[in-house]
Structure 1
Amino acid sequence: MTKIALYDLDRTITKRPTYMSFLLHAAWRHERWRLAFLPGLLFLFAGYLVRALDRGGLKERMHDMLLGSPVDAEKMAAIAESFAEATLRDNVHPQALARIANEKATGHRLVLATASYAFYVEPLARRLGFDDLIGTLVRRDADGAILAEIDGENCYGDAKMRRIEAWAEEQGLERADAAVRFYSDSQTDLPVFDWSDEPVATNPTNTLRRIAEKRGWPVIAWG
C-alpha cells in the first residue's frame, strides 16, 4: 500500500496566498517599471467579479500586466528560487513544516497539488521536501521562455481532481493500492476531499468547516 500525503498550498501550508506576492516579488526583480500598472489590477478584479474573466483568465492577465510575455526562463527560475526562500522565511506555518517532515519520515509520498503556477512553486516544493508537484502549467515559446498563457487547465476545483487522476495514471498508481490523506483549506477542493481516504480540513474557510463538521472530518488550524 502506497501512503500518499496530498497537500494544497495557499492558506493550507502558507499563511497567505502566494500568487500576488510572487508577482510583486518577480516584477521588482524583473522589470520594476511594471509596478506602475498595479492600479490596473482593479479593472481586472472588476472583470472577474462580473464574470467577464474566469479565474484562469484573471491569472493570465495579471501575469501579463506585471511580468510581461515572454519572460526568459533562466531569469524566472532564479527569481522563483529567491521567492521560495522568502516564502519559507515568513509565509509558511511551522506546524505544516512539522507535519510534512513527520510524514516524510514515516514513508509517505508527498504530493503538492496547487492552482498556483508550477514554474514558481517548484523551488518551494523542493525545499519543503515534496516528491511530486501538480500545478498550473504555462505555455512556452520556441526558446522555452515563459508566456502569460495557461497550458491546459487552471489547476483548480474539478480541474485539480482531473490533474491528480492523470498524475496517478502516469505514475502507475492504482487508486485501490494507495492510502491518500488530503489537506486543504477550501471547499473548492471537495472533489479531492471526496476522492481521498483521509480528508483533513486545514485552516478551513467557514464553509469548509461546516462541511467537515457535518461529515466528521478532522479539522486542524495552524497558526
Structure 2
Amino acid sequence: MHRLAIYDLDRTITRIPTWTPFLIHTARARAPWRLALMPLGMVLAAGYLLRLMSRGRLKERMHRLMLGTRLAPATIDDIARDFAGWMVPGRIHPRAVQRIEADRRAGYRIVIATASYRFYVEALARRLGIVDVIGTEAVVDASGAILPKIRGANCYGEAKLAMVEAWLAGEGIARDAAHIRFYSDHVSDAPTLAWADEAYAVNAHPPLAALATARGWPQLDWQAR
C-alpha cells in the first residue's frame, strides 16, 4: 500500500499566495521597469473577476506582462532559486513544516499539487525536502525556454484532480493500492478533497470551512500562534 500526503501550496503551506509575489520579485530583479505595468495587471485581474477571461488566461497574460515572452533555461533556474530563498522559511507556515515532517516519519510520500507553475515551485519544494510536484505546466520551446502559455490545463479545481490521477498513473500507482491524504485551504479543491481517503481543510476560507463542517472533514489552523 502506497502512502501519499498531497499538499496544496498557496495559503496551505505558504503564508501568502506565490504567483503575484513571484512576478513582482522577478520583475524587480530582472526588469524593474515592468513594475510600472502593475496597474494594467489590476485591469486584467478585474477582467477575470468579471468573468471575461479564465484563470488560466489571466495567468498567461500576467506572465507575458511581467516576465516577457521568453525565459531562458538558466534564467529560470536562477529566478526560481532566488524566489525560493525569499519564501523559505519566513513565508512558510511552521506548522505546515511540522505536519509534513510528521507525515514523512509516518511513511508518507510527500507531494505538492498546486495551481502555481511547476517551473518555479520545484525550487521552493526542494527547500522543504519535497521532490514530487504536480503543478501548472508552461509551454517550453525547443531551446528549453519558458513561454507565456499554459501547456494543458491550469492545475485548479477538477483539473487538479485529473492531473493528480495522471501523476499516479505515471508513477505506476493504482488508486486502490494507495492511501491518500490531501490538505488544502480552498473550496476549489473540493473534488480532490472528496476523492482522498483523508481530507483536511487547512486555514480554510469560509466556503471551505462550511463544506468541511458538512462533510465532517477535520479542520486545521496553521495560522494560530
TM-score normalised by L of structure 2: 0.97
Q: CA RMSD in A?
A: 0.9
Q: Which secondary structure does the structure 2 equivalent of 1:22 belong to?
A: helix
Residues 10 and 18 in structure 1, CA contact (< 8 A), matched pair in contact too: yes
| Alignment match, 1:135 | 135
Q: CA deviation at 1:77?
A: 1.1
TM-score normalised by L of structure 1: 0.97
| Alignment match, 2:208 | 208
Instruction: Tell me, in whole angstroms, the C-alpha distance in 2 between the residues paired with 1:2 and 1:139.
Output: 31
| Alignment match, 1:162 | 162
| Alignment match, 2:64 | 64
Instruction: Tell me, in whole angstroms, the C-alpha distance in 1 between the residues paired with 2:193 and 2:164.
Output: 12
Q: CA deviation at 1:213?
A: 1.0
- 1:195 paired to 2:192: no
The 5 A counterparts of 1:52-201 are: 52-201=52-201
Gaps of 5+ in 2: none
| Alignment match, 2:49 | 49
Residues 26 and 67 in structure 1, CA contact (< 8 A), matched pair in contact too: yes
Q: Residue by residue, what CA displacement relative to the aligned partner does 1:157-207 show, whole Å, maximum 9, x if unpaired?
A: 010011000000111101111110110001101110111000000000101
Instruction: Tell me, in whole angstroms, the C-alpha distance in 1 between the residues paired with 2:173 and 2:89.
Output: 34
Instruction: Tell me, in whole angstroms, the C-alpha distance in 2 between the residues paired with 1:44 and 1:13.
Output: 27
| Alignment match, 2:39 | 39
Residues 116 and 135 in structure 2, CA contact (< 8 A), matched pair in contact too: yes
Gaps of 5+ in 1: none
Opposite residue 41 of structure 1, the aligned amino acid is G
**Count of matched residue pairs:** 223
Q: CA deviation at 1:106?
A: 2.0
Q: Which secondary structure does the structure 1 equivalent of 2:89 belong to?
A: helix
Q: Give 4+ residue runs of structure 1 displaced > 4 Å after superposition.
A: none
Q: CA deviation at 1:156?
A: 0.3
Q: Residue by residue, what CA displacement relative to the aligned partner does 1:105-131 show, whole Å, maximum 9, x if unpaired?
A: 221110100000000100111111223
Q: Which secondary structure does the structure 2 equivalent of 1:90 belong to?
A: coil
Q: Which secondary structure does the structure 1 equivalent of 2:111 belong to?
A: strand
Residues 138 and 151 in structure 1, CA contact (< 8 A), matched pair in contact too: yes
Q: Residue by residue, what CA displacement relative to the aligned partner does 1:45-69 show, whole Å, maximum 9, x if unpaired?
A: 1211222211000001111001101
Further displaced range: 180-189 or 102-111 = 102-111
Q: Which secondary structure does the structure 2 equivalent of 1:129 belong to?
A: coil
